Amino acid sequence: MKVTSIVAFSITLLASVVDSQKACNGYAEFCDKLYSEIAYVTTHNSYAAGKQPAANQNFNVSTQLKDGVRGLMLDSIYPDDNPNEMHLCHGNCRLFDAGSAVDTLTTIAGWLNENPNEVVTIIWENTAKVPTSAFNDVYTQSGLDKFGHVQGVGKGWPSLAKMIDSGKRLVNFINPPSDGSIPWLMSEFDYVFETPFENEDPNGWQCTIDRPKGKEQPLYVLNHFLYNNFLPSDNQIQLPQPGLANVTNSASLADHAKKCQQTFNKIPNFIAVDFYDKGGNDGQNVFSIAADLNSVKYNQTPLGDGTTNNNNGSNNEKAKSAAQPNGGLRNVYTLIGLASVGTYVMFVL
């Protein structure tokens, strides 16, 4: 055997070893799955993080991404006092203003650059009808535009590995639709339907198609967050329910997801929650429930800033020791690969 063919063989073998270690969105099992076959932990009003009564999340978008959130729901608005700068606001910027959209998008772009094996989805609520050109501007300014995946309506989705290889790792949906001038800013309801989002009853979770009215689409959002009217009989101001997040985000969520899986004969793709870091005292949280839907093992990791308890008090120190870094396995694969090459070369020579 010629040296060149040994070298070629070794490279092929090494390449396949490298390939086998690759994880897509944290799991090797996801690489060959289609984008449409996966459940993604999604934060409702992702930008509305903090301690204010109108906040939907305890932790900001960079912490969310660090923790494994892969779907972000954002609302675009021009605040009254700044009609030229797109902000992320909760309906009305006086209720909650998370600042310039460029800032959050820059955070997302930085994270995508540092995490090349991750696919993320942004779902825009553009009820304020910010013009499409403004989206082009903020995506370009933040460096996010280069990641935009373009998907034909009604076409099969690529696998996560394909999206990662292409570098087009950001899926962008918008509702109401944009003017169509940006191919990667896709009309949400051409691809996705949603279960009802105005839930005030902790036992009232539905598996019905709320938007677009009665039209089933290949992907769907499972809306599973709880609101309460600020004033009884007034649904103008609705507030999230952090005090009930441990109940909302545990067995209640698992049951809702399973029920919808049966109803629609497919797993939900975007598990949209408030206070994503909170789970129940049954040990379940949105990440364990998503892992279950995806038929992968849940690798428990500390959530948030590492100082808060995520559920009933099972604390982060415990979570830390339960977390399984993948490095060990990866090194074993590499050693096996190198050893095989060595053995093969010795044998041939």
Of 89-97, 143-151, 265-273, 281-289, the window that binds ligand NAG (rule: CB under 6 A) is 281-289
Near ligand NAG in 282-301, by CB under 6 A? 282-283
Q: List the one residue from 107, 142, 199, 316 that touches ligand NAG (CB under 6 A).
A: 107
When asked if residue 314 is in the footprint of ligand NAG (CB under 6 A), the reply is yes
DSSP string, 273-316: ESSTT---TTS--HHHHHHHHTTS-------TTSSS--SSS--H
Q: Which stretch binds ligand NAG (CB under 6 A): 10-18, 219-227, 242-250, 340-348?
A: 242-250
Asked if 194 contacts 271 with a C-beta cutoff of 8 angstroms, the reply is no
Q: What is the CA radius of gyration of the chain?
A: 22
Of the residues 42, 46, 56, 60, which one makes contact with ligand NAG according to CB under 6 A = 60
149 is catalytic: no
Residue 318 CB, shortest distance to ligand NAG, in Å, is 8
**Using the rule CB under 6 A, which residue among 140, 281, 295, 326 binds ligand NAG?**
281
Rule CB under 6 A: say whether 62 interacts with ligand NAG: yes
Residue with tokens 């839907």: 293
Among 32, 200, 255, 305, the residue binding ligand NAG under the rule CB under 6 A is 305
Longest distance between any two alpha carbons in the chain, whole Å:
84
Torsion angle of the four alpha carbons 139, 141, 142, 143, in this order, in degrees rounded to the nearest 10: 80
- Determine the 3-state secondary structure of 175 from DSSP: strand
Is 44 designated active site?
yes
Taking the alpha carbons at both ends of the chain, their separation in whole angstroms is 8
Residues near ligand NAG (CB under 6 A), total: 16
Taking each helix axis as running N to C, give the angle between helix 101-114 and helix 132-142, from 0 to 180 degrees, rounded to the nearest 10: 50
The interface mask with ligand NAG, positions 8-47, x = CB under 6 A, is ----------------------------------------
Q: Which residue has the tokens 């001038």?
A: 181
Q: Quick check: 304 and 63 in contact, CB under 8 A?
A: yes
- Residues near ligand NAG (CB under 6 A) are 59-60, 62-63, 107, 246-247, 250, 280-283, 305, 312-314
